[in-house]
Amino acid sequence: MSLVELIARADERGLAVGGLACLDRCLPLLGGDDEALRPLWASLADGSGWAGDLARARDLLGAGRLPGDEAALLAHRMLESAPAERTTDALRPWAEACSTASLRVHRLLDPVVATGAGPDAGDTAGPSPLVAAELRRQAMVLELLADHGAQGLRRALEVTVEGRRVLRAVVSRRARTTAEAGARAGL
C-alpha cells in the first residue's frame, strides 16, 4: 500500500502518531533535546488529551520564531500546525502536511542531493537515499499502528528515534561543513 493510501486509511491514533513521528524525526532542526516530544507520545499511549503537552512543546521548542533555513522552517510549521484537538478531521490534514514536509526536509538535507549527484538532482531513478529511508519509516509507522493498534506504538517510537538519529547526524555534518567553508572563506 502506498504512503498516501496508508494515511487515507489511518484512524485517529494512526494519524496522530504519523504526524508526531514526522515531527519527532525532524526534532534536530528545532534545537530540542530528544525528550522534548516524549509527553506527546505518552498521551498517545494512555489515550489522554495532548493539548497541554503540545502547548509546552511549542514553548520549549520556540514555536513562532522564524528560523533561517527552509528545512528548519518546515519543522517549525509542523509543530505550529499540530491540532490541539485530537480528532480524525483535525489530524488528517496535519498528518498529510507533516508527511510532505518531512519528506521535503529530508530532500533538502540529503548530502547526495546537495552535491548534485543524486536522483533528486535530475535523475529519474527514484528518491535519494535519505528521502527513501524517510518514506520507508513513514510507511512502517502507519503499518505498525494499522496492524497492531496501541501495541504498535512502542515500535513506531523506536522507528522514529532511529530516524531522528540519522537526521541529527546529517544536520551535524551539514553544520560542520558550513563552518569549515566559512573558515576557509575567512582565510
What single letter denotes the amino acid at residue 112?
A: V
| pLDDT for the residue numbered 62 | 83
| pLDDT for the residue numbered 99 | 98
Cα separation, 99 vs 182, in Å, equals 33
Cell of 4: 498516501
Looking at the whole model, is its pTM more than 0.75?
A: yes
- Per-residue tens of pLDDT for the chain, all 187 residues: 899 999 999 999 999 999 999 999 999 999 888 999 999 999 999 999 999 999 999 999 986 566 678 999 999 999 999 999 999 999 999 999 999 999 999 999 998 765 554 444 444 467 899 999 999 999 999 999 999 988 999 999 999 999 999 999 999 888 788 777 777 776 5
For 34-65, letters b (16+ CB in 10 Å) and e give eebbebbbebbeeeeebeebbeebeebbebee
Cα separation, 15 vs 28, in Å, equals 22
